[in-house]
Structure 1
Amino acid sequence: MTAAVPGTGTGTAAIDPRVGCSTISLRGLPLDDALRHIAAGGFTEVDLGALPGVCDHVPVPLPEQRVEPIADVVRASGLRVRTVNADIGPLEELASAPELIEDRLRPLIRLAQATGAPAITLPCGAHGTHSRDHADDEDAVRAVARALTLAAQATTSVGVALYAEAPHVLRLCSDLTRARRPAEASGTAPVGMVLDTSHVVASGGDCVEAARAFGGRLAHVHLRDAVPGDIHRSIGRGDVDFAALVRHLTTTGYDGHYSLELETHDVTDDQRPAEAARAGAVLSGLLRNAFPPAH
């Protein structure tokens, strides 16, 4: 049953400044073209995709000599950057190589600083590790937590926050139960959590429950629709109850931002810019209509 989303027709209202668009949404375009379409759609903020094999707008590993040219393209777009969403490699393995974590993060940190991005986002586990049995993944979870702690030390020491995205149905932390464990294992390490609505619903979870579970650690929200087992739906074409999530976050005082990550399979590439603008208008309307935080 597809969840109803108010106003899922063509969006014409202004995009709320808290609703950004990840360049992953237009990953088939060169970075400058993707940014141009995002700005033309009314957005003022982006996440930069740095995910090998998914979105290479920012290559990883990032050569030092590429940092300033990429930053120049971003600055020329006039768009703010909320986070550099990067996969620096399998954290389960990198946990035992802190120097490699620092080496791969260093140019990404420089890019974040050069573009004014307040945070870098990393995944919770290597791609393709979602088939692990819960009983067999404790060592891997602890390793991911160690890697995130090391990464947080490297970023926060120079004023850049570290976020981790979980759950992710194709990675170690594939559902809400697993997603909570690296955060718990990392203890007081300053790692914020990114909630991706599509991965929560595709893994059989509920977005409001996930937001409650992360509590004060929730730092950012990725927006895409989904049904169980399928994360590739456009906004309003799946089971995600966006209105309930926005209402919950508003009433609990969440002041972070949202980013459309429309890696969808139900629109063609040439439809993506218009689809992003439509989805941005829909989510902006939900934010405008959410009742204010309780006092």
Structure 2
Amino acid sequence: MVELAFSTNAYTRHSLPEAVRRIADHGYTGVELLGDDPHAYFPEFGDDDRAALLETLEETDLAVSNVNANTAMGYYDDAPPSSFFEPSVIRADDEAREWRVEYTKRAIDLAETVGSPAVCLASGRPLPGTMPEAAREYLHQSLREILDYAEPRGVDVGIEFEPELLIENTEEVLALIDELGRDSLGVNLDVGHAAVYGEDVAESIRASAGSITGVHLEDIVGGRRGKHYHRIPGEGDLDFRAIFDALEDVGYDGFATLELYTYPDEPDRAAREAYAELEAYV
């Protein structure tokens, strides 16, 4: 049976332990950890931070659904408020690309420590001067190194597709999984990303059967081909009954994680109302 988790990336005005405690207070059985500033930016996430997190997880009895390593905003001193993916695993600059590979390995270390089944990673977008064909080669190289590190540690890697990235839809992520041929590589399926690309979300889930490492949930105004802005379920047009039916049809029994980073000023309301809207499905 699918269980509900909530991502700490809605609680960026709070410390990581406080975010975990607040999520537990709203009835969730799982929590996704933001592998980035201000929660677990790995170059600065030390032994004391790790110990405090483990103590809080034990105190709240929350399972970790995923370590979200899509972004590394802490890399920049002046990062804009909107998330982006640089330096990415497809960056042509060898040093920057290797930095991101090593960063993802630290996310895998945290996943192993807290018992998370997976980490998620976005491909990034090809920058000017890097043709998509070359970017794809960089992606393959990076993923092979990441998977070589993840597999002995029992951690899966889920690629999260998103419109305008190198890997931006269901067909492309499944082709990538087939090309790499590694059982530990899958898709972290964000239902809103499928919708705004123009896909039928339920069909995206069914096509991904057996490859889903995790699920991100949010609502989208406009549904298919709507605008990419994460809303509290019930405030948009996605059919969550159809989404959960599709997850049941493919035998997915992991966590579905609410990703509502768009509510930093009122994360408790977002967590509370999302749970109330979706608890009937799980």
Regarding TM over 0.5, the answer is yes
Of 24, 30, 33, which aligns to 1:39? Answer: 24
Equivalent residue, structure 1, for 2:187: 193
Equivalent residue, structure 2, for 1:208: 202
Q: Match of 1:217, as an amino acid? A: S
Normalised TM-score (structure 2): 0.80
Q: Match of 1:190, as an amino acid? A: S
Q: Match of 1:26, as an amino acid? A: Y
How far the C-alpha of 1:194 sits from its partner, in A, is 0.9
Normalised TM-score (structure 1): 0.76
Sort the Cα spacing of 1:282 and 1:182 in 2 relative to 1 into closer, same or farther, 3 A. same
Runs (5+) with no aligned partner, structure 1: 1-15, 288-295
What secondary structure sits across from 1:216 in the alignment?
coil
**Deviation by residue 1:67-107 (Cα, 9 ceiling, x = unmatched):** 33443444444321111111364010389578646632443
Contact 2:119/2:155 (8 A) holds in 1: yes
Contact 2:150/2:157 (8 A) holds in 1: yes
Sort the Cα spacing of 1:102 and 1:234 in 2 relative to 1 into closer, same or farther, 3 A. closer
Aligned positions, number: 260
Sort the Cα spacing of 1:224 and 1:186 in 2 relative to 1 into closer, same or farther, 3 A. same
Of 33, 36, 39, which aligns to 1:57? Answer: 39
Contact 2:34/2:40 (8 A) holds in 1: yes
Equivalent residue, structure 2, for 1:5: none
Separation in 1, partners of 2:140, 2:210: 18
Separation in 1, partners of 2:92, 2:115: 27
Separation in 2, partners of 1:263, 1:77: 22
Sort the Cα spacing of 1:169 and 1:131 in 2 relative to 1 into closer, same or farther, 3 A. farther
Equivalent residue, structure 2, for 1:273: 268
Equivalent residue, structure 2, for 1:26: 11
Of 65, 79, 85, which aligns to 2:62? Answer: 79
What secondary structure sits across from 2:91 in the alignment?
helix
* Further displaced range: 96-105 or 247-256: 96-105
Q: Match of 1:158, as an amino acid? A: R
Contact 1:22/1:49 (8 A) holds in 2: yes
How far the C-alpha of 1:153 sits from its partner, in A, is 1.4
Equivalent residue, structure 1, for 2:155: 160
What secondary structure sits across from 1:104 in the alignment?
helix
Separation in 1, partners of 2:133, 2:209: 23
% identical aligned pairs: 27
Sort the Cα spacing of 1:120 and 1:197 in 2 relative to 1 into closer, same or farther, 3 A. same
Runs (5+) with no aligned partner, structure 2: 73-86
